[in-house]
């Protein structure tokens, strides 16, 4: 049974997300994802060996599979058992798991995510391949369907609000994945507070964040917050905020008609000159040249 299989009938409709083109840092965690309506024939199988998703070092990397069924029916084979996947089914397949999943009825509405085998998801190695029934399946599918809708609709709405909505939906998606994988209890109270503070800061990039203001949110000293940030992210607090600001500015340059003053204000710089200086330091291009090159 365990062989690499990819049989997708033309009747199947799959909308695949390119997180490199969506705002936020989801591309660091999600290798690929999609929302699918499957008919006639659909069959995906893997031996469990690393798949050919090239990372920056040009090496194959492993991925963890997360599937959620919204309606219809599929089925999955792993660990010498076959399980029917009905509405509300959630499937987790840690990297290295041999499996086969396929359409098992007239249709199957589902979404799927391939999660990078990265540091943040290393704990998945300690989990077992599993199928469970959960309301989280429907919530995950609905959110991904909304991302598809807003990302595909570039007419009839203000591009500013559309880009902001997509950013928030992507952030919700990462939170949903975290909740589904039950990662939250693996963090202590201080870690949970830290990530809540950072998430809040990245949603308000226009504010003048400092180490002091971030530390005050946690009621700890600046040196404590500095050390915690380095431990949790590998970056200093200000480098982390700057990274978020510049990444969001790239999205605004590519997908909105904001001028440089508007972008500078939105991501927390006093004026276009200071924003342009920081942007050029990071990308070796001015924001205008970056926009004209198409990112």
What digits encode the pLDDT tens for the residues 158-179?
A: 566 778 888 889 989 999 998 8
Q: pLDDT tier at 284 (50, 70, 90 boundaries)?
A: very high
pLDDT band at residue 59 under the 50/70/90 scheme: very low
Query: Rounded to an integer, what is the distance from CA 76 to the centroid of its chain?
Result: 24
Residue scoring higher pLDDT (2 or 40): 40
Q: Residues 238, 242, 243, CA angle at the centre, nearest 5°?
A: 115
**pLDDT, greater one: 209 or 120:** 209
Please give the backbone phi and psi of residue 251, each rounded to the nearest 5 degrees, phi first: -65, -45
- 146 backbone dihedrals φ, ψ, rounded to 5°: -70, -40
d(C-alpha 240, C-alpha 228), whole Å: 12
The confidence score (pLDDT) of residue 128 equals 84
Label residue 22 exposed, middle or buried (CB < 10 Å: 0-12, 13-18, 19+): buried
Give CA–CA dist 253/261, Å, rounded.
12
Tell me the pTM: 0.64
Encode pLDDT of 240-276 as tens digits.
Answer: 999 999 988 988 888 788 999 999 999 999 999 999 9
Q: What is the largest CA-CA distance in the chain?
A: 62
The dihedral of CA 35, 73, 117, 3: what is its sign? Answer: negative
Q: Who has greater pLDDT, 199 or 272?
A: 272
Within 10 Å of residue 119's Cβ, how many Cβ atoms? 10
Pairing of strands 99-116, 63-78: antiparallel
Query: Alpha helix (H) ranges present in the chain?
Result: 135-152, 159-180, 189-202, 211-218, 222-233, 237-255, 260-266, 272-283, 287-292
Give the span between the Cα atoms of 101 and 97, in whole angstroms: 12
Domains and CATH numbers, the chain: 5-185 (2.60.120.280), 188-292 (1.10.10.60)
Please compute the mean of the pLDDT values over residues 228-239 and round it to a whole number: 91
């Amino acid at each position: 049974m365990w062989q690499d299989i990819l049989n997708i009938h033309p009747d199947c409709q799959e909308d695949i997300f390119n997180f490199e083109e969506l705002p936020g840092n989801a591309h660091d965690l999600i290798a690929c994802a999609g929302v699918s309506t499957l008919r006639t024939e659909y069959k995906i199988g893997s031996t469990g060996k690393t798949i050919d998703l090239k990372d920056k070092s040009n090496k194959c990397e492993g991925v963890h599979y997360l599937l959620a069924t919204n309606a219809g029916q599929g089925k999955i084979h792993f660990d010498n058992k076959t399980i029917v996947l009905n509405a509300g089914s959630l499937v987790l397949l840690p990297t290295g798991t041999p499996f086969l999943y396929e359409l098992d009825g007239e249709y199957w509405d589902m979404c799927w995510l391939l999660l990078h085998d990265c540091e943040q998801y290393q704990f998945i190695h300690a989990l077992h391949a599993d199928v469970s029934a959960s309301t989280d399946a429907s919530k995950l599918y609905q959110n991904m369907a909304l991302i598809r809708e807003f990302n595909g609709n570039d007419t009839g709405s203000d591009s500013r609000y559309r880009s902001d909505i997509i950013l928030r939906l992507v952030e919700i998606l990462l939170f949903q994945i975290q909740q589904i994988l039950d990662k939250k209890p693996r963090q202590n109270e201080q870690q949970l507070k830290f990530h809540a503070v950072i998430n809040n800061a990245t949603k308000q990039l226009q504010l003048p964040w400092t180490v002091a203001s971030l530390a005050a949110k946690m009621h700890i000293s600046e040196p404590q917050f500095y050390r915690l940030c380095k431990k949790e992210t590998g970056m200093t607090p200000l480098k982390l905020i700057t990274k978020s600001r510049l990444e969001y500015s790239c999205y605004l340059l590519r997908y909105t008609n904001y001028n440089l003053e508007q972008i500078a204000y939105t991501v927390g710089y006093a004026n276009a000159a200071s924003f342009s200086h920081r942007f050029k330091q990071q990308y070796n291009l001015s924001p205008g040249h970056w926009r004209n090159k198409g990112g």
